[in-house]
Structure 1
Amino acid sequence: MSEVTPRSVLAELASGTKPRRDTYEGWQRYRTTRGQFLAAPILTFTQWRAMSSSERSLYDLHRTATHVNLPLQETPMSLRVGRLVNRRLRNNALKQNVATRPGVMVSGWGYQGKTETVCEVAAAFEDAWLELHHYLNPDAVDGTNDLHAPVVYVQTPVTAKPKSTCQAVLDFFGASTRGMSLPRLMQQVAQSLSDHGVKALILDDINRLRMHRADDQDTLDLIRAFMSMNVTLILVGVDIPGSGLLRDARWDARQRQWVMDPSEHARVHGLEATQTERRFDLVELDRFRTSTPEEATSFQAHLRGIEAHLRLLKAKPGMLTGGAMPEYLMRRTSGVVGVLERLIEDGAQEAMDSGKELLDENLLDEIVISLDDPSRDPSTGEIPPIPGRGTSSRTAIVNKGARSRRKNTVFDDRGPAAAGTAG
């Protein structure tokens, strides 16, 4: 095995080979390499100055890679989601009866870490499941050599239709779908999930379904049918309660679950063996809030975790947690984890480029947070509204003193929890 060095880490990062999790090979690479990033060592300014020019350049590049690859931190919100998802995966995988496995819906606005949280829990489940069965498929048919894929991750097609959704599932395995009719595709999906020992099917970006379109309604019927295939269905999306996905569901107050009736679409194609209703737990991954002492403490703990992974040469303890900095960061990001990460990431690079080598309000005031992503739809909440710059208590001067920047006001919270839709 080759030695892992800063140079080898940077070479791999620069190769542009980030795995796509919606293929078997990509998911396996994600699962087996997650958490293995080698962060830059902590050096003092004096140690850095003692390096040669080439050594400093390499170290600075390694610092940048460290700042843009901050590890996933557990938060009170992600722990709640993680416990539920893990419980459903574990319990459903051990069921021996023919009852339909209850699914999970993970809702929340964009950049709040839904996908990363679910994928981390699912990857940990797969690690344990493979080890339990000595990396063999316990349901394999003698004489076959199918891939063993306990977890399948699929992104909902932008324009979702039953055929394209089936194709997306089969594309995970690299299966050919050319010329297949919808009934044949559905049968192939059922066969593939069984042959590959799939225990969990993750459908991400489920909010792309629009229930006013007939194709999307048929796709939702298809998704219900997936639950008859002895897999745990995990739907991940923005504002699921407001998306229309639950419009035909009813709330079971006793079981505290959403209930969907069997789909007509699935029965037409013979995939629905029973009239069993489909049940979902709905959980929301919310943003940080600081309205109570406990919430403020959790936010500060998160900031301490970020601070521990920054490699700024003049940083001091409490750089992100001391004084008014927590309040400032909350105002700039509204407690959204992904927005906070982007602000810190860009701020750290500015601190390195400018030679300041630390983060403070004046430096962060100069950072414009940009979340432009062509793969995300702002109209659905996949990209959250971003507070502007200039939120410190001091007036910042821009454009070489030509004009003063006005103090920014924090936008009103429009999150699911504030709207009373939290699960």
Structure 2
Amino acid sequence: MTDSAIPFILPGPPPQRDTAAGWQSWRTSRDIFKPAPRLDRAAWRALSARRRTLHDLHRAATHANLPLLDTPMSRAVAKLLNGRIESNALKHKPTTRAGVMITGGGYQGKTESTCEVAAAFEDRWLALHHNLNPDALLGTRDLHAPVAYVQTPVTAKPKSTCKAILSFYGAETTNMDLPDLVRQVAASLHDHGTKALLLDDITRLRMHRADDQDTLDLIRAFMSMNVTLVLVGVDIPASGLLREGRHDPRTGQVVMPPSRHANIHGLEATQTERRFDLVELDRFRYDTDDQIAAWIDHLAGVENELRLMNAPEGMLTAGTMPEYLYQRTDGVVGLLERLMEDGCRDAIETGKERLTEQLLENITIDLAGAPGRDPGAGEVPPVPPRHDTSRRRRNTVFDDRGPAATKDVG
């Protein structure tokens, strides 16, 4: 190991994606982290004391930055979201673009999956246009931002939501009333060539509050600005956001009524319904053989990313470990990631260099005070207990049921 690994171990504070500069920093650096090399104990002991320390620190960084692995659920979300953003970006007709709502529980990877799809689209879009805004006026040099990522304010109002969007671009908002703010949002989206507007934590809106109803109404009006509106939130169907919508059986989309703000602020000349594709990024399930096999396949992928020097093959997938890990995490990928990170740190510090049920029983998953999350909006999921035998079941996915299981015996 060389000292050049140190920048990857200590990369500095993570970029804040809710500004244009922060989003670009994250997008262009999201794949640069290199995990620690795989060393056995003999190779590790052959290092100098300093390099052993650096290697262990690099391993800790590796476990703290586990990659976002594809799951059957995330692949379905990515397919729909990528198709919708790309198709809308290629439209030339002045019609309202259909949006996407991504729902699911807390810590299930909704934000990361959404941002990864949007970043990959931006990579392709910028390459297609040689990093230039194809819609820019001749002689102008506005920042080209094909994707804008915004977190919904905890106490969202129409003005604060507009200001959050404008803050992404660094636009001026001082002494502006709501009509001016809305016009500035429309101008910023157009001038910066934004094709997708991501509004995260949308279920912070409480539909029993008049301000929040006005905010959602205004957000729907943004769809007339020729962008793909992507709303991400916890359990959107139960949040009240869809109470004015209806399901269109022909398209499978949720159809929302036109926005009152469209007439008030002149965003469009006609009353147009807003259509959303609603897709769920669900947790893993453990009820059928196919679901169990998908969970085990995911655990195999996670195991491949770990850097423990005494880890046997099948450390996470053999015996009762899959059932145990499911019981500890309820199939939520974010909870599994936290358990792996803390468990690997303990395995390294104790010298055991492997994960066992006994070791993991000493690990508490504590999400209290999680930064940037609103527990009242369901962004922090309940953590299953460490030992709950009532949920345990024997793994039957690889059982040989024999011919009697599939044929009638007469």
Q: TM-score range by the shorter chain?
A: over 0.9
For the Cα contact (< 8 Å) 2:147–2:194, is it kept in 1? Answer: yes
- Choose which of 267, 288, 292 in structure 1 pairs with 2:263: 267
Mapped pair 1:386 → 2:383: yes
Match for residue 56 of structure 1?
Answer: 52
How far apart, in 1, do the equivalents of 2:254 and 2:314 lie? Answer: 44
**Residue of structure 2 aligned with 1:333, choices 310, 321, 329:** 329
Does residue 376 in structure 1 map to residue 373 in structure 2? yes
Partner SS state of residue 203, structure 1: strand
1:84 to 80, 83, 86: 80
Q: 2:187 is matched with which residue: 185, 188, 191?
A: 191
Structure 2, unaligned stretches of length 5 or more? 393-410
Please tell me whether the aligned partners of residues 261 and 267 of structure 2 are also in contact (alpha carbons under 8 angstroms).
Answer: no
Counterpart of 1:400 in structure 2 is: none
Aligned partners of 1:199 and 1:231 also within 8 Å: yes
| TM-superposed deviation, 1:410 | 4.5
Q: Which residue of 2 aligns with 1:288?
A: 284
Pick one of 91, 94, 98 that aligns with 1:95: 91
Map of 1:29 onto structure 2: 25
Alignment of 1:13-162 (within 5 A): 15=12, 17-162=13-158
What letter matches 1:385 in structure 2? Answer: P
Per-residue deviation, 1:154: 0.2
Alignment partner of 1:194: what SS? helix
The separation in 1 between residues aligned to 2:229 and 2:62, in whole angstroms, is: 34
Deviation at 1:303, TM superposition (A): 0.7
| Matched residue, 1:319 | 315
CA RMSD, Structure 1 to Structure 2 (Å): 1.4
Where 2:10 maps in the other structure, the secondary structure is helix
**In structure 1, what residue type is equivalent to 2:326?**
M
Distance 1:94 1:4, change over 3 A: farther
Which amino acid in 2 is paired with 1:339?
A: L
Describe the SS at the equivalent of 2:314.
coil
Per the normalisation by structure 2, the TM-score is: 0.93
When residues 409 and 378 of structure 1 are mapped into structure 2, their CA distance, relative to the original with a 3 A threshold, is farther
**Structure 1 segment 207-246 matched on structure 2, within 5 A:** 207-246=203-242
Deviation at 1:388, TM superposition (A): 1.5
Identity of aligned residues (%): 63
- 1:6 alignment counterpart: 5
Alpha-carbon distance in 1 for matches of 2:249, 2:154: 34
Among 340, 360, 363, the residue aligned to 1:364: 360
Distance 2:32 2:228 in 1: 28
Equivalences, count: 390
The one-letter code sitting in structure 1 at the alignment partner of 2:297 is: A
Q: Which amino acid aligns with 2:317?
A: T
Q: Deviations over 1:82-135 (max 9, x none)?
A: 000001001101111111000000000100000000000000000011111111
Residue 250 of structure 1 is matched in structure 2 by: 246
1:179 is aligned, of 170, 175, 182, to 175
Equivalent pair of 2:257/2:273 in contact (CA under 8 Å):
yes
SS in 1 for 2:82: helix
Q: Is the 8 A contact 1:307 1:319 kept in 2?
A: yes
Correspondences of 1:385-404 after superposition (within 5 Å)? 385-391=382-388
Distance apart, 1:4 and its partner CA: 9.3
Contact 1:331–1:410 (Cα < 8 Å) also in 2: yes
SS of the residue 2:386 aligns to: coil
Determine if contact 1:106/1:114 at 8 Å carries over to the other structure. yes
Do the aligned partners of 1:10 and 1:62 also contact (CA within 8 Å) in 2? yes
Task: Give 5+ residue unaligned stretches, structure 1.
Answer: 392-407, 412-423
SS at match of 2:326: helix
